[in-house]
C-alpha cells in the first residue's frame, strides 16, 4: 500500500501534467466551465483516494480520464445535462471520416443536437477517441473496459452519430425549405401588389 505522502506527491505531478486537459474534457462533456472546474478538482481528489488502484503508472493519463468520465457521467445523470459545447480541433491527417471531420471542426447546431441524441456512454467514447485522440488501449483503459468492447462501443457510437446527424440535417433542410417557401410567397405577394398598384 502506498503511503499518503507518496500518493500526494504523485497526484500533484499528475495534476500539473494533466489538469488542463481533464478540465477541457469535462467542459465539453458538461457545457459548464464552473462545474467542470469543480469536477476537475473532484477527479484529482478521487485519484488521490484511489491511488492504490493505479496498477501501471505509464497508464496514469487513461486512469485519470476514467475517473473524470465516471464523475462526469454521474453528474450528467444527476442533472440530466445532455448538451455539448462546440469545440475546435485539428485534423491528424487525410482520409478522415465524415463524423471525424465534423467532430474536429466547430460543431454546427445540427451536430450538437445529434451528439445530444446518442447515449451518454457513446458520446464519451467519441470525445475520447476523436477529440482527445486516445488510442485503442488508452480508450479501453479510460472507459474501464476491454479493448474489444471499447472498439465495439466506438463503432456503435459512430453509427449512432451518423444516423442522428442525418435526422438533424433532414430536419434543418425541411425547416430551411419552409422558410424559403414563405419568403418566396411573400416576394410573390409583393410583386402582385406592385403590379396592381402600377409601380
pLDDT number for residue 94 = 38
Q: What are the structural domain ranges in the chain?
A: 4-197
pTM: 0.62
Contacts of 70 (CB under 8 A, 6+ apart): 144
Whether 101 has a pLDDT exceeding 60, the answer reads no
User: Do residues 154 and 135 make contact, with C-beta atoms less than 8 angstroms apart?
Assistant: no
Q: What is the pLDDT of residues 18-49, one digit of tens each?
A: 999 999 888 888 878 899 999 999 999 999 99
Determine the CATH number of domain 4-197.
Answer: 1.20.140.160
C-alpha 148/C-alpha 163 separation (Å) is 23
Q: How many other CB atoms sit within 10 Å of the CB of residue 187?
A: 10
In the structure grid, which three cell numbers stand for residue 22, read together? 481533464
User: Do residues 127 and 100 make contact, with C-beta atoms less than 8 angstroms apart?
Assistant: no
DSSP state letter for 97: -
In the structure grid, which three cell numbers stand for residue 88, read together? 475546435
Amino acid at each position: 500500500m502506498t503511503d499518503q505522502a507518496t500518493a500526494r506527491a504523485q497526484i500533484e505531478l499528475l495534476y500539473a501534467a494533466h489538469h488542463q486537459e481533464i478540465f477541457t474534457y469535462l467542459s465539453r462533456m458538461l457545457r459548464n466551465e464552473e462545474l467542470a472546474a469543480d469536477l476537475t478538482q473532484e477527479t484529482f481528489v478521487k485519484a488521490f483516494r484511489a491511488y492504490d488502484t493505479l496498477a501501471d503508472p505509464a497508464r496514469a493519463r487513461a486512469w485519470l480520464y476514467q475517473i473524470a468520465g465516471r464523475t462526469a457521467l454521474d453528474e450528467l445523470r444527476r442533472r440530466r445535462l445532455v448538451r455539448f459545447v462546440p469545440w475546435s480541433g485539428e485534423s491528424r491527417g487525410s482520409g478522415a471520416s465524415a463524423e471525424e471531420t465534423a467532430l474536429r471542426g466547430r460543431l454546427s447546431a445540427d451536430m450538437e443536437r445529434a451528439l445530444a441524441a446518442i447515449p451518454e456512454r457513446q458520446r464519451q467514447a467519441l470525445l475520447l477517441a476523436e477529440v482527445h485522440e486516445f488510442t485503442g488501449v488508452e480508450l479501453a483503459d479510460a472507459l474501464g473496459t476491454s479493448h474489444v468492447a471499447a472498439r465495439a462501443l466506438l463503432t456503435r457510437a459512430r453509427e449512432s452519430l451518423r444516423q442522428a446527424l442525418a435526422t438533424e440535417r433532414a430536419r434543418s433542410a425541411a425547416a430551411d425549405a419552409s422558410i424559403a417557401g414563405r419568403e418566396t410567397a411573400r416576394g410573390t405577394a409583393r410583386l402582385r401588389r406592385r403590379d396592381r398598384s402600377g409601380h
